[in-house]
Amino acid sequence: MKRQRLRQLKERAIKAFFLANGLLSIFVLLGIFALLLYTAVPAFRDIKIGEFLTTKLWDPTSPLKPVYGILSQIMSTFLVTVGALVIAIPVGIGVAAYLSDVAHWRVREIVKPVVEILAGIPSVVVGFLGIVLVGPFLAKISGQSHGLNALNGSILLAIMSLPTIISISEDSLSAVPQAYSEASLALAGSRWQTLIRVKIPAALSGIIAAVMLGMGRAIGETMTVLMATGNARSFPTGFFQSVRTMTSNIAIELGEVPYYTTHYYALFAIGLVLFIMTFIVNLIADVVLRKYQEREL
């Protein structure tokens, strides 16, 4: 009997060990949030939150008075993200639809790993190509004097979000019950009509989740926009303008800011805003996905 109890204790200890590991993720997430918050809060001793979020000018090293406004950066992030989605959503859903409904299974087996290759290209390489290939090309065809602008950033971000959008949308489309498509075809719908009017609406939640995740990726991308969008601090008014996203701004200034100054804390405040944004986007994707799974049951 003692052996039995020892064994049970051991089992419980092991279970506790694994439980601790399980809880790890929660702790890490909370930890990141907490440390960001802790390091960002001192910034707001000298900066008013309202001004922080609504002022266009970011000039912490201004010879006049330091100004900490991130509205231009928020707008820049927004601009390149929207631009990226405008490209990546139709193309991504198109490819997903093709893979799930039109392609021969052999084509699928080849294309899926190829899309994963695209996903595997490091962001610094994409940024590099933005400087040496895409930017100059854009400049040439648009008649602008250079290609380091929001459009360049959007195209590159689209390339980076596409694999996410494609693979998750394709999974969702494939998961639509056969019965739905069969019913539509039985009623003399063409495959195209079935796709557009039955399958895509049925998979819509999964597709929305895919888009949200792709959007999260675009918002959080750092190296690509850092290298290819020109990093001008002005408030963006068009796609041919050089922009500076929140992520670029942190990457540019973190290396040179003296620790524990208002400027330092302000950079962490930007990080906090970013964290909250991507958290919300991921939360929405999560909720949508869960609704979708529940409906399937």
Partner 1 sequence: MSNKMMKIAVVIQLVIALAGGMLLLGQKMLQVKGSDTMVNLVQILAEKYMEKNPKQPIAVLGGGSGTGVTGMLNGTCEIANTSRDWKQKELDQAWEKGIKPRFFAVAIDGLSVIVNEKNPLTKLTMDQVGAIYRGEVKNWKAVGGPDMKVSLYGRQSNSGTYVFLMEHVLKNKPYSTDMKEMNGNAQIIEGVLADVGAIGYVGVGYIVDKETGKPMKGLKVLNINKDEKAEAFSPLDKAAVDSGAYPVSRPLWMATNGTPKGTAAGFLAWIVGPEGQKVVEAEGFYPVGGKLMEQNLKNLK
Partner 2 sequence: MKTKKLVQFAGFLLLRVCLYLVLAVLLILLYDIGSKGGGSISWEFLSKPPRRGMTEGGIFPAIFGTFLVTIVTAVLAIPLGMFTAIYLNEYARQGRLTRLIRLSIRNLSGVPSIVYGLFGVILFVNIFKFGTSILSAGLTLGLMTLPWTITASEEALKTIPNSYREGSLALGATKWQSIRTNVLPYAMPGMLTGTVLGLARAAGETAPIMFTGAAFFLPMLPKSLSDQFMALPYHLYIMATQHHDIAKVRPLAYGTALVLIALVLGLNMTAVVLRFRLRRKRRM
Chain residues that interact with partner 1, rule: CB under 8 A: 57, 59-64, 72, 136, 139, 145-146, 148, 230-235, 242, 244, 252-253, 255-259
Closest distance to partner 2 from the beta carbon of 83 (Å): 16
Question: What count of other Cβ atoms lies within 10 Å of the Cβ of residue 281?
Answer: 21
Instruction: Return d(Cα 87, Cα 150) in angstroms, integer.
Output: 13
Q: Specify the stretch interacting with partner 2 by CB under 8 A; choose among 68-76, 145-153, 179-187, 188-196.
A: 188-196
Judged by CB under 8 A, the stretch of 48-56, 175-183, 197-205, 247-255 that binds partner 2 is 247-255
For residue 59, list its beta bridge partners. 67
Of 49-57, 59-67, 107-115, 172-180: span binding partner 2 (CB under 8 A): 107-115
Element (H, E) at 68: strand 67-68
Strand (E) or helix (H) holding 51? helix 49-54
- From the CB of 264, what's the least distance to partner 1, in Å? 9
Nearest to 181 by CA among 196, 171, 160, 167: 196
Residue in 52, 239, 265, 268 binding partner 2, rule: CB under 8 A: 268
- Nearest in space to 77 (alpha carbons), one of 229, 265, 207: 229
Rounded CA separation 111/40 (Å): 44
86 binds partner 2 (CB under 8 A): no
The answer to whether the CB of 242 falls within 8 A of the CB of 228 is no
Residue 275 near residue 251, CB atoms below 8 Å: no
186 contacts partner 2 (rule: CB under 8 A):
no
31 CB contacts (<8 Å, ≥6 apart)? Answer: none
- Provide the token pair at 255: 């290396």
Residue 191 in contact with partner 2, rule: CB under 8 A: yes
- Interacting partner of 29 out of partner 2, partner 1, none (Cβ under 5 to 8 A depending on kind): partner 2
Q: The tokens 């302000």 sit on which residue? A: 266
Q: Which does 32 bind (CB under 5 to 8 A by kind): partner 1, partner 2, none?
A: partner 2
> Is residue 178 a contact point for partner 2 (CB under 8 A)?
no
Tell me if 203 contacts partner 2 by CB under 8 A: no
The helix/strand/coil state of 58 is strand
CB of 223 to partner 2, least distance (A): 5
Residue 282 binding partner 2, by CB under 8 A? yes
Question: Which of 42/189 has CB closer to partner 1?
Answer: 42
Under the binding rule (CB under 8 A), the answer on residue 247 touching partner 2 is yes
Taking the mean position of all CA atoms in its chain, how far away is CA 123? 13
Diameter over CA atoms, the chain? 85
117 is an interface residue for partner 2 by CB under 8 A: yes
Q: Which amino acid is at 168?
A: I
Interacting partner of 234 out of partner 1, partner 2, none (Cβ under 5 to 8 A depending on kind):
partner 1
Residue 114 makes contact with partner 2 by CB under 8 A: yes
Total of residues contacting partner 2 (CB under 8 A): 86
Applying CB under 8 A, does 220 fall inside the site for partner 2? yes
Residue number with CB closer to partner 1 (146 or 191): 146
Which does residue 286 touch among partner 1, partner 2, none (CB within 5 to 8 A, set by kind)? partner 2
Closest CB to partner 1 among residues 181, 229: 229
Quote the CA–CA distance of 170 and 166 in Å, as a whole number: 6
Facing residues of 230 across strands?
A: 243
